[in-house]
Amino acid sequence: MITMKGYGVQKQARLNRLKNEIIEYVSSQPQCSAADIVDHLSNERKMRNHGLTTRKVGFFIPRYLPELIGFTLDNSTGKRLYHLAA
């Protein structure tokens, strides 16, 4: 039987690229919504298989980027608007 000893390097590299792309977009487009972030990743950056939906962005950012990206709630729609944390 063969045991595989993977270190998850490719998975970690994909995660780091996704985090960097989100930080770069939020810094250039303050007050953007989760749908804006997913649209940017899918259509402009051509990251078709990034795996994030608008709902998953709401879980991804607080888990992986809490000290870099903050959010405020929009009064009219109740959606989160993301910005760089101060």
| Matching residue, tokens 């959606």 | 79
What are the DSSP calls for 7-69, one per residue? --HHHHHHHHHHHHHHHHHHHHSSSB-HHHHHHIIIIIS--TT----HHHHHHHHHHH-TTTE
Q: What is the pTM of this model?
A: 0.83
User: Which distant-in-sequence residues (6+ apart) come within 8 Å of 29 by Cβ?
Assistant: 36, 40
pLDDT attached to residue 6: 63
> Can you give the residue ranges of every domain in the chain?
30-84
Tell me the pLDDT tens digit for each residue of 23-34. 999 999 999 999
| Cβ atoms of residues 71 and 82 within 8 Å | yes
Q: Residues of the chain whose pLDDT is less than 70?
A: 1-6
